[in-house]
Chain A
Amino acid sequence: MVKDPWWLYAYWEIQPAVEREVRNQLAPGEFSGLQSVLRVYDVTGREFPRQAANAWFDTPLSGLANNWYIHVNAPNHSFVAEIGLLTKASRFLALARSNQVTTPRFGPSEEIDEEWMTTEEDYWKLFGVTAGVGMGSSPSGLKELMERKLFSPGAFSPGLFSPVKRPQAQPFWLAVDTELIVYGATDPKAAVTVQGQAIKPKADGTFSVRMALPEGTQTIPVEATSPDGQETRTISPAVTRQTEPQKAEGRKQQAAGSRQKAETSQ
């Protein structure tokens, strides 16, 4: 399989019977120094194995591996791999052969169409616009950017997108907030308001509201009107929240001192 213009990935599974059969072909002296290798053939433009490969190289494998990333470092080339055993005397016995794959190109094609003629300058001009390096950038500058692989394909793509989240690493901290629950009971059919806002009692006549309680004093008139509209009852609790400045003790006391000041000045 192809990972990118420079890397392949191979996996394999060798049946024990196949392995045994191949090993049986080894001469007794060949067992010492025997290695497991992946032999990678460059078969660009060739009909392998009928025609010989252009070149090949061996990658030694660690004994129990059943997959490997192969650094071929050759965009726009075709490859076939064989997994096998390599003796000390460099005799190679293949256990299995892979399918053929072709790495993609990285960089502009050398081929230019006569009918759709484009110059180096024009090509890089349009490349620059889309590469997001701005219009009017120098063609040679862009070419260099690309050759040094500073042009990153797949730039600005969804895989990278997520709203920026600040890392959690921060000094020891504490956050506290308060909420208030006001609850009560009345006739299930009564009309109830809390601070002027209507709230419907449940079937059993109970009601409850939960509110964030900020600094300061809140007076909370709770008024119930009888179902026939003739009578009202009102109860008005008052609640105050007054937070003392944050206290910090221990190691970072110096730094906390300044935080403390910030709190009190609120």
Chain B
Amino acid sequence: MKEQGYLALVLHSHLPFVRHPEAEHFLEERWFFEALTETYLPLLERLQRLANDKVPFRLTMSFTPTLLAMFSDLFLQSRYVRHIESLIELAEKEIWRTRWQPPFHRLALLYHHRFTTARQLFVDVYRRNLTQPFRELADRGVLEPIASCATHGFLPLMDYQRVAVRAQVLLGVQAFEQAFGRRPVGLWLPECGYHPEHDRILKEAGVRYFLADAHGILFGSPRPKYGVYAPVFCKSGIAAFGRDLESSKSVWSAIEGYPGDFDYREFYRDIGFDLDHDYVRPYINGDGTRVNTGIKYYRITGKTDDKQPYDPDRALEKASVHAANFMFNREKQFEYLRSCMDRAPLVVSPYDTELLGHWWFEGPDWLELLIRKVHFDQKTFRLISPMDYLQLHTRNQVVQPCMSSWGYQGYNEVWLNGSNDWLYRHLHKMVERMVELAKQHPHAAGLRRRALNQLARELVLAQASDWAFILKTQTHTAYAYRRIRDHLHRFSHLSDAITRNAVDEAWLAELEATDNLFPFLDYRLYAPTNGA
């Protein structure tokens, strides 16, 4: 029996570019280390296991250039090794410390095993650069990698200066090509932030599709016949896929969704906070502030502060139940949709990759179990990528999607409100300056060329939507302020120096060594000759 529908699982992988060689320890670098330990390494392990077991599946993953840059950065690679070795040491101490507490002792052994596995995979198997194993999974045909914007800039708020939108997109595609050795077929718009006509820019970049939030498609014009259950073509010919909220809810919802289950690991009980300060001090942030170590001993238990020890067997059982539940719900969904549609529906379920593992510890296991069950336990649907669906259904309705995002309230509010609106006059000014200078120096060479390229780097780093987001959510705001200030200041200083023809080579070299992503960046992106 032929399948009734298709499920496209899409994982969006992103981290802002955080790299601080000037400090011995830097708190925000831990974001990257945690993501490697808790999300990317466990995910790779499971995806490769599936591929080796010859379980057929298709998974789509987007990669931002900032994350790819960090994967390949030698300095961060060795910092990670230092980090994971320190965690291994801590886990060894924990094995001793919990010797008289069997439920915790067991977990200490488990963490020790996870950390040593992570180190072994990272150093010996993947040779410290995670781009390689992802690329290999793509070559094996189980992964469809897609691109994302240079520094995850939020495009709808950049529309005022389309040249800036274009630069974010083109740089993102270039970075992808460098890492994966092929053109990306799709592009993940940061925060699913779509603005009309940006699809034309995607077309120029050679990208075939993007994803939008449900209402971006549902409120599109004319009305989409298949809702979000089939892609639509923009007038430019680029396809837009809409997010299915039904499948999102069961995973994303912190209250009703799977991750909140009482058997799963409690995020907020970490030994970095729970244990004696002297004991944990060598393993937390350099200045002694308590941070998460990743060693957590409790399960959510309930709406109570009295948390019970985590039971990994029960948690894995639950993950299996939830995988079966997700699959069952999709089957019911496809059966219903099939009765409303005259073609096989596509359900698109995008998630932040970090949800699996970092926020929801059991996530990667859930995913692996889901993929196995989809293949072995049912025949109603199978996993595909958005591109696969386009190849099965070449004819689709032409609809103009509306401006939208998957941020809270569905539009631009998260990145434009009292906490962060002041940013934009600065960002717009910077783009203005950049365009001016790029036009003034169409054939720069030597030092000036280097300076102009670095200027563009500072610009895109300032444009990262992460800063506005952090200011809105009020966590790590000091860091966001610092980054904005740093990039604004470096830009301003550098643009002055270029104008006065007085670029200090030593200072420039320092900048190039610190903000060192996009070695291939060409400042002339900001002076397009064919009009953007």
- Is B222 in contact with A153, judged by CB distance below 8 angstroms? no
Contacts of A164 in B (CB 8 A): 254-255, 260, 300
Cα A117 to Cα B224 in complex, Å, equals 9
Name which of B97, B305, B360 has the most chain A CB atoms within 10 A of its CB: B97
Q: B355-394 interface mask toward A, CB cutoff 8 Å, 1 = contact, 0 = none?
A: 1000110000000000000000000000000000000000
- Is B254 in contact with A154, judged by CB distance below 8 angstroms? no
Q: Looking across the interface, which residue of chain B has its beta carbon closest to that of A166?
A: B305
Name which of B160, B266, B340, B403 has the most chain A CB atoms within 10 A of its CB: B403
- Is A165 in contact with B100, judged by CB distance below 8 angstroms? no
Q: Does B407 contact A (CB under 8 A)?
A: yes
With known contacts A4-B412, A127-B218, A214-B101, A108–B223 Cβ distance under 8 A: yes
- Is A11 in contact with B409, judged by CB distance below 8 angstroms? no
- B residues adjacent to A (C-beta < 8 A): 93, 96-101, 104, 156-157, 160, 191, 196, 213-215, 218-229, 242, 244-246, 248-249, 252-255, 257, 259-260, 266-268, 276, 279, 300, 303-305, 332-333, 336-337, 340-341, 351-352, 355, 359-360, 397-399, 402-414, 416-417, 421-422, 424-425, 469, 473
CB contact between B397 and one of A113, A159, A166, A212 (< 8 Å): that residue: A113
User: 4 closest Cβ contacts across the A-B interface?
Assistant: A153-B410, A126-B227, A104-B403, A109-B221
CB contact between A2 and one of B156, B225, B259, B422 (< 8 Å): that residue: B156
With known contacts A108-B218, A135-B336, A153-B411, A211–B397 Cβ distance under 8 A: no
Q: Does A123 contact B (CB under 8 A)?
A: yes
Q: Does A231 contact B (CB under 8 A)?
A: no
CB contact between B333 and one of A105, A135, A197, A199 (< 8 Å): that residue: A135
Q: Does A55 contact B (CB under 8 A)?
A: no
A-B contacts counted at CB < 8 A amount to 212
With known contacts A1-B424, A109-B221, A161–B252 Cβ distance under 8 A: yes
Q: Does A156 contact B (CB under 8 A)?
A: yes
Contacts of A172 in B (CB 8 A): none
With known contacts A153-B404, A209-B96, A211-B96, A4–B223 Cβ distance under 8 A: no
> Smallest CB–CB gap between B198 and chain A, Å?
13
Q: Looking across the interface, which residue of chain B has its beta carbon closest to that of A4?
A: B411
Name which of A5, A161, A210 has the most chain B CB atoms within 10 A of its CB: A161
- Is A67 in contact with B252, judged by CB distance below 8 angstroms? no
Task: Provide a sorted-by-A list of 10 A–B residue pairs whose CB atoms are within 8 angstroms.
Answer: A104-B403, A152-B409, A154-B407, A158-B352, A159-B408, A160-B254, A163-B260, A179-B279, A197-B99, A210-B96
With known contacts A3-B416, A130-B227, A131-B214, A104–B404 Cβ distance under 8 A: yes
Q: Does A112 contact B (CB under 8 A)?
A: yes
Cα A102 to Cα B413 in complex, Å, equals 15
Q: Looking across the interface, which residue of chain B has its beta carbon closest to that of A210?
A: B97
- Is A111 in contact with B221, judged by CB distance below 8 angstroms? yes
With known contacts A1-B416, A179-B276, A213–B221 Cβ distance under 8 A: no
Q: Which residues, 158 to 213 on A, are CB-close (under 8 Å) to B?
A: 158-166, 170, 179, 195, 197, 199, 209-213
With known contacts A1-B424, A218-B100, A130–B403 Cβ distance under 8 A: no
Interface of A is mostly: loop
Cα A238 to Cα B403 in complex, Å, equals 71
- Is B221 in contact with A105, judged by CB distance below 8 angstroms? yes
Cα A164 to Cα B224 in complex, Å, equals 36
Cα A39 to Cα B241 in complex, Å, equals 38
Contacts of A3 in B (CB 8 A): 411-413, 416-417
Q: A107-132 interface mask toward B, CB cutoff 8 Å, 1 = contact, 0 = none?
A: 11101110111100011011101111
With known contacts A122-B340, A163-B259, A164-B260, A109–B220 Cβ distance under 8 A: yes
With known contacts A1-B416, A163-B359, A179-B276, A212–B268 Cβ distance under 8 A: no
- Is A67 in contact with B422, judged by CB distance below 8 angstroms? yes
> Smallest CB–CB gap between B423 and chain A, Å?
10
- Is B228 in contact with A130, judged by CB distance below 8 angstroms? yes
Cα A230 to Cα B279 in complex, Å, equals 36
> Smallest CB–CB gap between A75 and chain B, Å?
9
In the complex, besides A132-B248, A154-B410, 10 extra interface pairs with C-beta distance below 8 angstroms are A2-B156, A5-B411, A108-B223, A109-B220, A113-B397, A117-B225, A118-B224, A156-B249, A212-B100, A212-B101
Q: Which residues, 76 to 108 on A, are CB-close (under 8 Å) to B?
A: 76, 99, 102, 104-108
Q: Looking across the interface, which residue of chain B has its beta carbon closest to that of A66?
A: B425
With known contacts A4-B409, A131-B245, A111–B425 Cβ distance under 8 A: no
- Is B252 in contact with A156, judged by CB distance below 8 angstroms? yes
Q: Does A51 contact B (CB under 8 A)?
A: no
> Smallest CB–CB gap between A219 and chain B, Å?
11
Cα A135 to Cα B345 in complex, Å, equals 15
Cα A115 to Cα B425 in complex, Å, equals 45
- Is A104 in contact with B98, judged by CB distance below 8 angstroms? no
Q: Does A13 contact B (CB under 8 A)?
A: yes
Cα A213 to Cα B97 in complex, Å, equals 9
Cα A179 to Cα B94 in complex, Å, equals 12
- Is A163 in contact with B409, judged by CB distance below 8 angstroms? no
Name which of A118, A157, A212 has the most chain B CB atoms within 10 A of its CB: A157
Contacts of A214 in B (CB 8 A): 100-101
Q: Does A9 contact B (CB under 8 A)?
A: yes
> Smallest CB–CB gap between A204 and chain B, Å?
19
Q: A5-19 interface mask toward B, CB cutoff 8 Å, 1 = contact, 0 = none?
A: 100010101000000
Q: Does A155 contact B (CB under 8 A)?
A: yes
- Is A130 in contact with B255, judged by CB distance below 8 angstroms? no
- Is A129 in contact with B303, judged by CB distance below 8 angstroms? no
- Is A158 in contact with B223, judged by CB distance below 8 angstroms? no
Cα A1 to Cα B416 in complex, Å, equals 9
Cα A9 to Cα B96 in complex, Å, equals 58
- Is B413 in contact with A1, judged by CB distance below 8 angstroms? no
Contacts of B228 in A (CB 8 A): 126, 130
Contacts of B157 in A (CB 8 A): 1
Name which of B276, B351, B411, B421 has the most chain A CB atoms within 10 A of its CB: B411
Q: A22-41 interface mask toward B, CB cutoff 8 Å, 1 = contact, 0 = none?
A: 00000000000000000000
> Smallest CB–CB gap between B60 and chain A, Å?
17
CB contact between A157 and one of B244, B252, B255 (< 8 Å): that residue: B252
- Is A159 in contact with B407, judged by CB distance below 8 angstroms? yes
Cα A118 to Cα B421 in complex, Å, equals 40
> Smallest CB–CB gap between B511 and chain A, Å?
28
> Smallest CB–CB gap between A243 and chain B, Å?
15
With known contacts A123-B227, A130-B218, A9–B359 Cβ distance under 8 A: no
Cα A105 to Cα B241 in complex, Å, equals 18
> Smallest CB–CB gap between B154 and chain A, Å?
11
Contacts of B360 in A (CB 8 A): 163
Q: Looking across the interface, which residue of chain A has its beta carbon closest to that of B242?
A: A130
Cα A76 to Cα B260 in complex, Å, equals 38
